[in-house]
């Protein structure tokens, strides 16, 4: 174990927290015999980073997937297949053919009645879309298939004076992929909390200088840790002791010596619930992106990290141009769809390690860690160029929207406030120039 900066603390990184990066599969096969519909769908999906092979017959479809497995197959249920008569007999069996090989199939059709939907479900189709096709709905499903979220390992603070007990608990939690910090001097708990920011505190009731329940009461006085789960370890687990633990701010009282078989599941269940509840607080319900305050908190962490590592960082403010006019012209429902489409577009075009958030209204923000300014300028100009080509459906028409971005970088701007203000001003300048452009903030 490696010593942390906090006195009497032992930092133990999980050996399972990093996994090899997998090559992303964005290859889609579209089976469709209407040239105009094919061209429109291929074009829209390509804007969101998907590569589409369009074919007209099942034989060619089978040949295409012999050597390479697509992320999904999109099949037009209404098409007249080009080929021999056997290919025209049973569409459901073709859907089943790919479903059994773990290749998801999505069906598109002009029909909206129950019969074709039942046919597709019986074959194992993962989705059914009626014409005219709204590409953003298909993109939603494709995104779900390739979503492999980067989950931060759970961070557990162990407050226990016995170093051997700390090592025992840490070993059990490490095997479940968690990171632990062992604190043997409870008088250092406040600075250790600020340094480590745990998802859960595992605490012995019997501690030197104070008991665990008193310490929990002090922790609960800190607003930042009001919701952090606290699990007590004690050799007294009678109902009165359980009630006393809850009164003093604990979530549960586990018997000591702890059963290592149940320790990790007990910890994980509580952290999972906490993170789930937190997601409703820090994420925008419309787009699923981080909200304004959460973006700034992450920016604060990334700036501190960039300073320690002397690494570059890019912060961008991005907005849809003249969004009010879009709402006035097409309605707020369509405006919401454009916002969701743009949020998805940003996530698709940025790296998984980049953070994207919604500032409110039609404005978004992105943090690109370990990115040079030139890299950020190129990425957001590509986003601007491709987004303006996307066609958004509204009643019987389709329309385009544009976006602008203001970019600031570290170390040109060395504080969170300086970065945010510079990006704000750059976005304002982009809009004053008429929008559909990228402006980079430069120190005068």
Tell me, what CATH number does 178's domain have?
Answer: 3.40.50.2300
pLDDT of residue 9: 53
Question: Which pair of structure tokens corresponds to residue 378?
Answer: 């190129």
In sequence order, the β-bridge partners of residue 27 are 51
3-class secondary structure per residue, the chain: CEECCCCCEEEECCCCCCCCCCCCCCEEEEECCCHHHHHHHHHHHHHCCCEEEEECCHHHHHHHCCCCCCCEEEEECCCCCCCCHHHHCCHHHHHHHHHCCCCCEEEEECCCCHHHHHHHHHHCCCEEEECCCCHHHHHHHHHHHHCCCCCCCCEEEEECCCHHHHHHHHHHHHHCCCEEEEECCHHHHHHHHHHHCCCEEEEECCCCCCCHHHHHHHHHCCHHHCCCCEEEEECCCCHHHHHHHHHCCCCEEEECCCCHHHHHHHHHHHHHHHHHHHHHHHECCCCCCECHHHHHHHHHHHHHHHHHHCCCEEEEEEEECCHHHHHHHHCHHHHHHHHHHHHHHHHHHCCCCCEEEEEECCEEEEEEECCCHHHHHHHHHHHHHHHCCCCEEECCEEECCCEEEEEEEECCCCCHHHHHHHHHHHHHHHHHCCCCCEEECCCC
pLDDT of residue 420: 94
Can you tell me the distance from the alpha carbon of 367 to that of 354, in angstroms, rounded to the nearest whole number? Answer: 6
Decide if 33 is inside a domain.
yes
| Contacts for 378 with CB less than 8 Å, ≥ 6 apart | none
Token pair 């002791």: residue = 241
Verify that 258 and 206 share a domain, yes or no.
yes
| Contacts for 444 with CB less than 8 Å, ≥ 6 apart | none
pLDDT of residue 338: 94
Verify that 320 and 339 share a domain, yes or no.
yes
Verify that 193 and 246 share a domain, yes or no.
yes
Decide if 16 is inside a domain.
no
pLDDT tens digit string along 144-166?
787 655 567 889 999 998 898 89
Verify that 300 and 436 share a domain, yes or no.
yes
pLDDT of residue 378: 95
| Contacts for 1 with CB less than 8 Å, ≥ 6 apart | 10, 11, 12, 167, 170, 182
Residue 288 has pLDDT above 90, yes or no: no
Verify that 347 and 430 share a domain, yes or no.
yes
Verify that 296 and 431 share a domain, yes or no.
yes
Decide if 246 is inside a domain.
yes
Decide if 6 is inside a domain.
no
Angle (CA) 259 263 266, round 5°: 130
Portion of the chain with pLDDT greater than 90, in percent: 32
Report the candidate in 402, 389, 436, 397 with the shortest Cα–Cα distance to residue 49: 389
Token pair 């039609």: residue = 362
pLDDT tens digit string along 1-10?
333 444 555 5
Pairing mode, strands 230-234 and 252-255: parallel
The domain in which residue 63 lies consists of 27-146
pLDDT of residue 1: 39
Which is more confidently placed, 33 or 387? 387
Among 280, 314, 329, the domain-final residue is 280
Can you tell me the distance from the alpha carbon of 403 to that of 47, in angstroms, rounded to the nearest whole number? Answer: 14
Which is more confidently placed, 350 or 261? 350
Verify that 306 and 419 share a domain, yes or no.
yes
In sequence order, the β-bridge partners of residue 109 are 130
Rounded mean pLDDT of 168-194? 90
Quickly state the pLDDT bin for 237 (edges 50, 70, 90). Answer: low
Verify that 204 and 335 share a domain, yes or no.
no
Highest mean pLDDT of the ranges 66-80, 383-397, 422-436: 422-436
Verify that 272 and 387 share a domain, yes or no.
no
Query: What average pLDDT does the chain have?
Result: 83
pLDDT of residue 76: 87
Decide if 13 is inside a domain.
no
Token pair 């200088």: residue = 209
Residue 21 has pLDDT above 90, yes or no: no
Token pair 């939907």: residue = 117
pLDDT tens digit string along 295-312?
988 898 889 889 988 999
Decide if 383 is inside a domain.
yes
Peptide bond into 132 cis (omega under 30): yes
Can you tell me the distance from the alpha carbon of 328 to that of 347, in angstroms, rounded to the nearest whole number? Answer: 27
Peptide bond into 411 cis (omega under 30): yes
Work out whether the CA dihedral 331, 333, 336, 342 comes out positive or negative.
negative
* pTM for this prediction: 0.58
Decide if 1 is inside a domain.
no
pLDDT of residue 4: 41
Residue 50 has pLDDT above 70, yes or no: yes
pLDDT of residue 335: 93
pLDDT of residue 20: 38
Verify that 301 and 434 share a domain, yes or no.
yes
Can you tell me the distance from the alpha carbon of 6 to that of 197, in angstroms, rounded to the nearest whole number? Answer: 13
Report the candidate in 240, 234, 242 with the shortest Cα–Cα distance to residue 258: 234
Can you tell me the distance from the alpha carbon of 250 to that of 229, in angstroms, rounded to the nearest whole number? Answer: 7
Decide if 287 is inside a domain.
no
Q: How many domains does the chain have?
A: 3
Verify that 355 and 332 share a domain, yes or no.
yes
Verify that 348 and 434 share a domain, yes or no.
yes
Among 146, 175, 194, the domain-final residue is 146
pLDDT tens digit string along 76-115?
887 654 444 444 445 667 777 787 788 899 999 988 889 8
CATH number at residue 325: 3.30.70.270
Among 228, 257, 280, the domain-final residue is 280
pLDDT of residue 3: 39
Question: Alpha carbon of 82 to those of 52, 92, 125: distances in Å?
Answer: 19, 17, 22
Can you tell me the distance from the alpha carbon of 115 to that of 307, in angstroms, rounded to the nearest whole number? Answer: 61
Quickly state the pLDDT bin for 286 (edges 50, 70, 90). Answer: confident
């Amino acid at each position: 174990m490696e010593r942390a900066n906090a006195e009497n603390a032992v930092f133990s990184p999980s050996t399972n927290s990093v996994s090899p990066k997998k090559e992303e599969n964005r290859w889609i096969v579209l089976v469709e015999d209407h040239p105009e519909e094919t061209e429109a769908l291929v074009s829209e999906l390509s804007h969101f980073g998907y590569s589409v092979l369009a074919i007209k017959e099942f034989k060619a479809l089978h040949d295409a997937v012999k050597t390479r497995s697509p992320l999904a197959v999109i099949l037009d249920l209404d098409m007249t297949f080009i080929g021999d008569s056997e290919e025209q007999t049973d569409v459901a069996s073709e859907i089943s053919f790919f479903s059994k090989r773990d290749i998801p199939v999505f069906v598109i059709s002009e029909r909206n009645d129950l019969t074709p939907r039942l046919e597709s479900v019986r074959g194992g189709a993962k989705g059914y879309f009626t014409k005219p096709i709204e590409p953003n709905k298909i993109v939603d499903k494709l995104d779900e298939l390739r979503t492999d979220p980067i989950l931060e390992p759970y961070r557990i603070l162990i407050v226990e004076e016995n170093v051997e007990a700390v090592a025992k608990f840490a070993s059990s939690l490490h095997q479940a992929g968690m990171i632990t910090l062992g604190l043997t001097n409870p008088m250092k708990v406040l600075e250790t909390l600020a340094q480590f920011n745990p998802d859960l505190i595992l605490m012995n009731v019997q501690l030197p200088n104070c008991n665990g329940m008193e310490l929990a009461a002090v922790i609960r006085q800190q607003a930042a840790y009001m919701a952090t789960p606290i699990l007590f370890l004690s050799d007294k687990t009678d109902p009165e002791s359980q009630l006393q633990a809850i009164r003093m701010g604990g979530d549960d009282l586990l018997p000591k010596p702890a059963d290592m078989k149940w320790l990790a599941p007990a910890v994980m269940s509580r952290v999972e619930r906490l993170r789930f509840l937190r997601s409703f607080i820090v994420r925008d319900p419309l787009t699923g992106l981080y909200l304004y305050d959460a973006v700034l908190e992450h920016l604060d962490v990334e700036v501190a990290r960039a300073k320690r590592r002397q690494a570059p960082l890019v912060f961008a403010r991005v907005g849809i141009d003249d969004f009010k006019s879009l709402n006035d012209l097409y309605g707020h429902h369509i405006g919401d769809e454009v916002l969701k489409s743009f949020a998805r577009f940003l996530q698709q075009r940025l790296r998984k390690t980049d953070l994207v958030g919604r500032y409110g209204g039609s404005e978004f923000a992105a943090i690109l860690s370990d990115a040079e300014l030139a890299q950020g300028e190129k990425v957001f100009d590509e986003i601007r160029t491709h987004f303006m080509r996307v066609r958004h459906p509204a009643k019987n028409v389709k329309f385009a929207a544009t976006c602008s971005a203001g970019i600031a970088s570290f170390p040109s701007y060395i504080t969170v406030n300086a970065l945010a203000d510079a990006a704000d001003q750059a976005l304002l300048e982009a809009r004053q120039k008429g929008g559909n452009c990228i402006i980079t903030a430069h120190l005068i």
